[in-house]
Amino acid sequence: VVKLMKKKGTHMVLIDSAGAGDIVSMAGLASPSIGHTVANVEIRSVLPTVELDPPTISMTFGVNDSPLAGRDGTHLTGGKIGDRLSAEVETNLAINVLPGLSESYEVQGRGELQLGILIENMRQKGFELSVSPPKVMYKTENGLKLEPNEEVTIEVNEEHVGLVMEALSHRRAEIVDMGPVPGSVDRTRLSLTCPSSFSYPLNVNSSFCLIEPILFCHINNNYLFSI
């Protein structure tokens, strides 16, 4: 480590030492990565790394080959898209990027929201690309095909609970808990588990959603046997 810096206001200042709780920047490391332990050369033990949940869905990013290509962006080639995705992988551990066919890339993430934010950030920076629909990522253990299972929390008005439960029952959802929303009147909170392949997209009813706001929350749980 040749430099140790700390943010003071809007500027970075050099410091000689840092204490517990300080957020610092270091310069001089050869190939640092998230999860590495930086310590004195005499210390041989390392801190345990945090295990991240594996990606649950994937999308294919490629060159925009439509008749309207080149009208909205300045970065149009597959090489530019690949460089941007490679830079994203260096700072975002929840995303994996695999090379595909014909200047395309398979981007694996933790959900539609995460990949949607990445797409919007790229669009704002002048990237123009084509994107495939999301696909659920399966895995095989002991000869069994497994798919990601998610914990879903829904808050909805009490009179529409039956409609929501009926829609989710067709997606192999299982109710874990149901009760009133604290501090709200006539609002019910549903906690359930649902396979990811049945929760993308999670649309209850288009006309129903126009008059009834619903709060959804997805949390990856584990992998279960896929039917």
Q: How far is it, in rounded angstroms, from Cα 30 to Cα 223?
A: 37
User: Per-residue pLDDT for the chain (227 aa), expressed as one digit of tens each?
Assistant: 788 888 888 888 888 888 888 888 888 877 777 777 888 778 888 888 777 777 888 999 988 887 777 777 788 888 888 899 998 888 787 889 998 887 889 999 887 888 889 999 998 888 888 899 888 888 888 888 887 877 778 888 888 888 878 877 777 788 888 888 888 788 888 888 877 765 554 444 433 443 344 455 555 556 554 54
User: How many structural domains compose the chain?
Assistant: 3
Task: State which of 111, 136, 161 marks the end of a domain.
Answer: 136
Q: How distant is the alpha carbon of residue 72 from its chain centre?
A: 26
CA atoms 63, 116, 85, 196: torsion sign = negative
Tell whether 121 and 160 lie within a shared domain: no
Whether 131 and 91 have beta carbons less than 8 Å apart is answered as no
Q: What range defines the domain where residue 144 resides?
A: 139-225
Other C-beta atoms lying within 10 Å of the C-beta of residue 105: 20
CATH of the domain at 108: 3.30.70.870
Tell whether 209 and 153 lie within a shared domain: yes
